[in-house]
């Protein structure tokens, strides 16, 4: 909708209109600098040396020979590094990851643990010296095996329960009881972590690639016992984050070295180092039990998830939380547990919990559809709850049924023959599958500064992060509408902690949280200008803070939803699975910029395809490290794997958000792997309950009775 207002001759309607990325030209011409390439005078380069053992103690670090190597300036390790203040809980409610708070003791809790930083004049010198650094260890036996025999009945950190599960399972006409597993997965964003630290006029100045400059500033200030005002963190352009770009070893090591050397020091992670330093998604083992009546309505639902964590850091992949939003049942039990192992710390990775959780639950729903003979879309519609299954709270909006109806129509679902293994095209067996998606729609407190400049332009300052998502552009559209001016008159500056506290680019909450603050400041500024105030040379600045507005929000179930559809072809001779097309229809709030929002959703779905078929970090349990920790060994979907992915949405403005936003960062991956796996079953007649669906798994599984029968005939 476009409204032209009178008086200020402004055009509204930037929100909802496609807009290319404001910094797009800078990015494709190379003018945009990423944190590892911002120039500094006197820059020194640090290279992390990582442990080669999975558990034990550092016995010695042979610094002398390395210090004699060309260009080497310093070697930092547990014996000489400054002590950090690590006993705190940060902005996101977690203590710092010990893998990030480097060189505090001689213990080695996992392979690839940072044991030293070698600093030299050039990156090549630092690398050569770090690789030559001799570190000896007192090695201890390690355990890196997440035992896959299913979650036990033991203590889960996080359990929700209602009703009598055993009784309702016994009452059920149909029961599904299966175990699903997902492997260790890595963020693998294009731009590795990189930070440069330096002291500038008594302030610590860090140029970094992260998901929240205020977040990282707070962590660094606490670790180094500095006042927050004495720390500035900037992050202008970011080549992906996906949950991995918070406080990490590179920033902490760079600050230590810059402090010691009185020079700017840059530390960049290599792709291989990221496999132990950057966090990852834990492997999961999930048991799902569903019991339904003859009408397909769920009487019993149990979803238990087991993941791994590090010995010194608790992080639980909350897969079963997905079930608390999706489906109700008289008896409903969900539990998330993790076991500590001698492995690096897992962390948030795009749709943490929901991505692997939806694979298990939405696969199980498909198995229930198969066993009850009810169409998978119809089964989900019959089990679409009125209120939060566990909370009992109303949904702010749900619209999952609208997603399924629109998706089914566009995908051609009505023509689907439900029988598995009956569509053959040459050597390919064909199948289609569907799955539901949801992801939380939250907002975090933020402040924004909006300035009316004397020349008629407007400057917005907010400590937001654009991970490559188009957040900067989305915020420009929001600001333009709020100020009732064309986008050309608005300049949005982000990625600087000096702009004040703001939420992170995480939890799919970034754009929504920042837009809320910008909207509030812009509205107030517009009121002031409406009084006919003359703008002085320094401009007029209004600051907003959304803390109170967010605290006043009514308690509701707030989520985005979606319906995923996939068509696959399976070659049963080679085991190859090709995804032919995917369609996702989402209810994800008001869409600010259709161009970049579609890109987010398609990106998430592509990752779901990749999760279904390719991604798997394989740990060598003998050494405790990985086989092939790089992008040759860790497969991600590439262009040739991704033929036709389409994303669209239904109208779903959030009723409680000033702009109607929910967030599109993570929902795209949710359910996508299940849709592919369900399509593989429909093609072959055999369930694939373990990701990724590798050729060897397809070959080992063979084909179901229907296909074998057809072949025999």
- From 240-248, 310-318, 421-429, 471-479, span contacting ligand MOS (CB under 6 A): 240-248
Selected binder of ligand MOS within 352, 388, 433, 562 (CB under 6 A): 352
CB of 354 to ligand MOS, least distance (A): 10
- From 349-357, 364-372, 539-547, 673-681, span contacting ligand MOS (CB under 6 A): 349-357
Closest CA to 252 of 241, 265, 243: 265
The end-to-end CA distance of the chain, in Å, is 60
Cα 555 from chain centre: 25
- Strand pairing report for 56-62 and 134-139: antiparallel
CB of 94 to ligand MOS, least distance (A): 13
- Strand pairing report for 72-77 and 174-182: unpaired
CB of 513 to ligand MOS, least distance (A): 12
Distance from C-alpha of 231 to C-alpha of 229, rounded to nearest angstrom: 5
Q: Please report whether residue 243 would count as binding ligand MOS according to CB under 6 A.
A: yes
DSSP secondary structure, 283-318, as one string: PEEEEEEEEE-TT--EEEEEEEEEEEEETTB-----
CB of 244 to ligand MOS, least distance (A): 8
Residue nearest ligand MOS (C-beta atom): 243
Q: Please report whether residue 431 would count as binding ligand MOS according to CB under 6 A.
A: no
CB of 606 to ligand MOS, least distance (A): 16
Query: HSE on the CB side for 311, CA within 13 Å?
Result: 16
Distance from C-alpha of 308 to C-alpha of 181, rounded to nearest angstrom: 12
Q: Which is nearer to ligand MOS, 237 or 266 (CB)?
A: 237
Q: Which is nearer to ligand MOS, 265 or 462 (CB)?
A: 462
Q: Which is nearer to ligand MOS, 349 or 676 (CB)?
A: 349
527 counts as catalytic: no
Selected binder of ligand MOS within 279, 507, 604, 692 (CB under 6 A): 507
Q: Please report whether residue 283 would count as binding ligand MOS according to CB under 6 A.
A: no
Q: Please report whether residue 242 would count as binding ligand MOS according to CB under 6 A.
A: yes
541 to each of 449, 524, 694, how far by Cα in Å?
A: 6, 10, 57
- From 163-171, 346-354, 487-495, 668-676, span contacting ligand MOS (CB under 6 A): 346-354
Question: Which helix (H) or strand (E) is 340 found in, with range?
Answer: strand 331-341
| 589 contact partners, CB below 8 Å, separation of at least 6 | 441, 512, 560, 652, 653, 654, 657, 660, 661, 662, 663, 664
Q: Which is nearer to ligand MOS, 352 or 671 (CB)?
A: 352
Q: Please report whether residue 56 would count as binding ligand MOS according to CB under 6 A.
A: no
8 Å CB contact between 663 and 504:
no
Q: Please report whether residue 669 would count as binding ligand MOS according to CB under 6 A.
A: no
Q: Please report whether residue 668 would count as binding ligand MOS according to CB under 6 A.
A: no
Distance from C-alpha of 305 to C-alpha of 331, rounded to nearest angstrom: 17
Distance from C-alpha of 113 to C-alpha of 118, rounded to nearest angstrom: 15
Q: Which is nearer to ligand MOS, 304 or 350 (CB)?
A: 350
**The residue to which tokens 């670790």 are assigned:** 223
Q: Please report whether residue 506 would count as binding ligand MOS according to CB under 6 A.
A: yes
Closest CA to 369 of 174, 177, 178: 174
**Taking CB under 6 A as the rule, which mask of x and - marks residues 196-215 in contact with ligand MOS?**
---------------x----
- From 130-138, 313-321, 345-353, 703-711, span contacting ligand MOS (CB under 6 A): 345-353
Distance from C-alpha of 305 to C-alpha of 337, rounded to nearest angstrom: 6
Q: Please report whether residue 626 would count as binding ligand MOS according to CB under 6 A.
A: no
CB of 507 to ligand MOS, least distance (A): 4
- From 40-48, 91-99, 217-225, 238-246, span contacting ligand MOS (CB under 6 A): 238-246
Q: C-alpha angle with apex 62: 61 to 66, nearest 5 degrees? A: 125
Distance from C-alpha of 407 to C-alpha of 410, rounded to nearest angstrom: 5
Q: Which is nearer to ligand MOS, 172 or 338 (CB)?
A: 338
Question: Which helix (H) or strand (E) is 354 found in, with range?
Answer: helix 354-372
Selected binder of ligand MOS within 113, 280, 348, 428 (CB under 6 A): 348
Q: C-alpha angle with apex 391: 387 to 393, nearest 5 degrees? A: 45
CB of 607 to ligand MOS, least distance (A): 11
Kindly determine how many residues on this chain lie close enough to bind ligand MOS according to the rule CB under 6 A.
11
CB of 505 to ligand MOS, least distance (A): 7
Alpha-carbon dihedral sign for residues 590, 594, 600, 602: positive
Q: Please report whether residue 468 would count as binding ligand MOS according to CB under 6 A.
A: no
Ramachandran class of 402: left when φ > 0, alpha when ψ lies in -120 to 50, beta otherwise: alpha
CB of 327 to ligand MOS, least distance (A): 24
Q: Please report whether residue 350 would count as binding ligand MOS according to CB under 6 A.
A: yes
Q: Please report whether residue 349 would count as binding ligand MOS according to CB under 6 A.
A: yes
β-bridge mates for residue 618, sequence order: none
Set 219, 354, 406, 666: catalytic member:
666
Q: Please report whether residue 503 would count as binding ligand MOS according to CB under 6 A.
A: no
Distance from C-alpha of 617 to C-alpha of 526, rounded to nearest angstrom: 52
CB of 506 to ligand MOS, least distance (A): 4
- From 5-13, 235-243, 488-496, 560-568, span contacting ligand MOS (CB under 6 A): 235-243
Q: Please report whether residue 588 would count as binding ligand MOS according to CB under 6 A.
A: no
- From 103-111, 133-141, 344-352, 612-620, span contacting ligand MOS (CB under 6 A): 344-352
Q: Please report whether residue 420 would count as binding ligand MOS according to CB under 6 A.
A: no
Q: Which is nearer to ligand MOS, 49 or 465 (CB)?
A: 465
3-class DSSP assignment, residue 110: coil
Q: Which long-range contacts (CB under 8 A, 24 or more apart) does 4-7 make?
A: 5/484
Distance from C-alpha of 285 to C-alpha of 308, rounded to nearest angstrom: 10
Q: Which is nearer to ligand MOS, 101 or 211 (CB)?
A: 211
Structure tokens at 362: 């939405």
Number of H helices, E strands in the chain: 18, 24
Q: Which is nearer to ligand MOS, 243 or 501 (CB)?
A: 243
CB of 229 to ligand MOS, least distance (A): 27
CB of 602 to ligand MOS, least distance (A): 17
Q: Which is nearer to ligand MOS, 347 or 564 (CB)?
A: 347
CB neighbours of residue 373 within 10 Å: 11
Q: Which is nearer to ligand MOS, 376 or 604 (CB)?
A: 604
- From 195-203, 241-249, 374-382, 572-580, span contacting ligand MOS (CB under 6 A): 241-249
Distance from C-alpha of 79 to C-alpha of 58, rounded to nearest angstrom: 10
Q: C-alpha angle with apex 179: 176 to 184, nearest 5 degrees? A: 145
Distance from C-alpha of 382 to C-alpha of 436, rounded to nearest angstrom: 13
CB of 135 to ligand MOS, least distance (A): 33
Question: Which helix (H) or strand (E) is 432 found in, with range?
Answer: strand 428-440
Q: Which is nearer to ligand MOS, 469 or 593 (CB)?
A: 469
Q: Please report whether residue 440 would count as binding ligand MOS according to CB under 6 A.
A: no
User: Residue 424 class from Cβ within 10 Å (0-12 exposed, 13-18 middle, 19+ buried)?
Assistant: middle
Q: Which is nearer to ligand MOS, 96 or 212 (CB)?
A: 212
DSSP secondary structure, 549-594, as one string: HHHTSPP-B-EEEEEEEEEEEEETTTTEEEEEEEEEEEE-B--S-H
Q: Please report whether residue 241 would count as binding ligand MOS according to CB under 6 A.
A: yes
Question: Which residues belong to the active site?
Answer: 666
Can you give the binding site for ligand MOS, defined by CB under 6 A? 211, 241-243, 348-350, 352, 506-507, 666
């Amino acid at each position: 909708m476009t409204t032209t207002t009178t008086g200020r001759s402004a055009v509204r309607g930037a929100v909802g209109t496609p807009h290319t990325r404001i910094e797009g030209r800078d990015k494709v011409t190379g003018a945009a600098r990423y944190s590892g390439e911002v120039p500094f005078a006197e820059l020194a380069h640090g290279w992390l040396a990582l442990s080669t053992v999975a558990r034990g103690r550092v016995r010695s670090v042979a610094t002398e020979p390395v210090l004699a190597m060309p260009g080497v300036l310093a070697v930092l390790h547990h014996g000489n590094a400054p002590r950090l203040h690590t006993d705190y809980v940060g902005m996101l409610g977690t203590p710092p990851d010990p893998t990030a708070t480097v060189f505090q003791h001689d213990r080695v809790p996992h392979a690839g643990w940072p044991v030293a930083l070698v600093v030299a004049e050039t990156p090549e010198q630092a690398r050569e010296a770090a690789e030559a650094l001799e570190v000896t260890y007192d090695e201890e036996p390690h355990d890196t095996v997440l035992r896959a025999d299913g979650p036990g009945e033991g203590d889960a950190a996080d359990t929700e329960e209602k009703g009598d599960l055993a009784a309702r399972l016994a009452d059920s006409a149909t029961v599904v009881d299966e175990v699903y597993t997902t492997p260790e997965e890595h963020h693998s964003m294009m731009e590795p972590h990189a930070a440069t630290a330096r002291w500038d006029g008594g302030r610590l100045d860090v140029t970094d690639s992260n998901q929240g400059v205020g977040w990282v500033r707070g962590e660094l200030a606490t670790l180094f016992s500095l006042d927050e005002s004495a720390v500035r963190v900037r992050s202008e352009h970011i080549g992906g984050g996906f949950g991995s770009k918070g406080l990490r070893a590179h920033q902490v090591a760079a600050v230590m070295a810059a402090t010691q050397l009185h020079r700017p020091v840059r530390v960049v992670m290599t792709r291989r180092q990221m496999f132990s330093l950057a966090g990852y998604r834990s492997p999961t083992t999930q048991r799902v039990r569903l019991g339904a009546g003859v009408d397909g309505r769920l009487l019993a639902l149990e979803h238990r998830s087991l993941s791994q964590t590090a010995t010194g850091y608790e992080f639980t992949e909350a897969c079963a939380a997905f079930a608390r939003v999706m489906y109700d049942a008289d008896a409903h039990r969900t539990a998330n547990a993790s076991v500590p192992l001698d492995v690096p710390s897992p962390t948030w990775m795009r749709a943490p919990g929901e991505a692997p959780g939806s694979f298990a639950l939405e696969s199980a729903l498909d198995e229930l559809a198969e066993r009850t003979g009810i169409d998978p879309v119809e089964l989900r519609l019959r089990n679409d709850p009125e209120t939060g299954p566990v909370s009992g709270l109303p949904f702010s909006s749900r619209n999952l049924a609208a997603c399924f109806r629109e998706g089914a129509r566009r995908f051609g679902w009505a023509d689907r023959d439900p029988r598995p293994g009956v569509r053959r095209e040459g050597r390919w067996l064909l199948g289609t599958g569907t799955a539901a998606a949801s992801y939380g729609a939250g907002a975090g407190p933020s402040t924004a500064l909006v300035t009316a400049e004397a020349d008629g332009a407007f400057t917005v300052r907010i400590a937001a992060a654009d991970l490559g998502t188009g957040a900067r552009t989305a915020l420009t559209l929001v600001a333009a509408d709020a100020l009732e001016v064309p986008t050309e008159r608005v300049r949005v500056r982000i990625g600087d902690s000096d702009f004040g506290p703001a939420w992170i680019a995480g939890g799919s909450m970034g754009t929504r949280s920042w837009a809320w603050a910008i909207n509030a400041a812009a509205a107030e500024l517009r009121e002031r200008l409406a009084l006919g105030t003359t703008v002085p040379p320094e401009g007029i600045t209004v600051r907003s803070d959304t803390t109170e507005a967010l605290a006043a929000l009514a308690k509701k179930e707030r989520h985005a939803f979606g319906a995923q559809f996939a068509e696959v072809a399976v070659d049963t001779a080679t085991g190859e699975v090709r995804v032919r097309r995917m369609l996702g229809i989402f209810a994800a709030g008001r869409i600010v910029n259709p161009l970049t929002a579609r890109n987010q959703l398609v990106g998430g779905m592509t990752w779901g395809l990749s999760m279904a078929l390719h991604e798997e970090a394989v740990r060598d349990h003998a050494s405790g490290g990985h086989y092939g920790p790089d992008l040759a060994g860790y497969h991600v979907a590439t262009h040739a794997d991704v033929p036709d992915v389409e994303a669209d949405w239904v109208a779903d403005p959030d009723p409680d958000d000033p702009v109607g936003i929910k967030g599109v960062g993570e929902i795209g991956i949710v359910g996508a792997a299940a849709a592919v796996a369900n399509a593989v079953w429909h093609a072959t007649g055999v369930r694939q309950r373990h990701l990724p669906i590798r050729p060897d798994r397809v070959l080992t599984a063979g084909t179901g009775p229907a296909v074998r029968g057809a072949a025999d005939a």
